[in-house]
Amino acid sequence: MSRNVYQFAGALASGIVFGFGLSLSGMLNPARVQGFLDIFGAWDPSLAFVLGGAVIVAFVGVQVMKRLRRPAFDDSFHVPMNRRIDAPLIIGSALFGLGWGIGGFCPGPAVASLSIGIPQTVLFVIAMLAGMTVHDRVWSGRT
Concatenate the DSSP letters of all residues of 11-56 into one string: HHHHHHHHHHHHHHHTTT-HHHHHHHH-TTSS--TTHHHHHHHHHH
Cα gap 77→73, rounded to integer Å = 10
Report the predicted TM-score, pTM, of the whole model to 2 decimal places: 0.68
pLDDT per residue, tens digit, the chain (143 aa), is 677 888 889 888 988 888 888 888 888 888 888 888 888 988 888 888 888 998 999 999 999 999 999 988 888 888 888 889 999 889 989 988 888 888 788 888 888 888 888 788 888 899 889 988 988 888 765 54
Cα gap 105→31, rounded to integer Å = 10
Cα gap 85→82, rounded to integer Å = 9
Residue 142: what are its φ and ψ, rounded to 5°? -90, 160
Question: Cβ distance 135 to 143 under 8 Å?
Answer: no
Write down the pLDDT at residue 143. 44
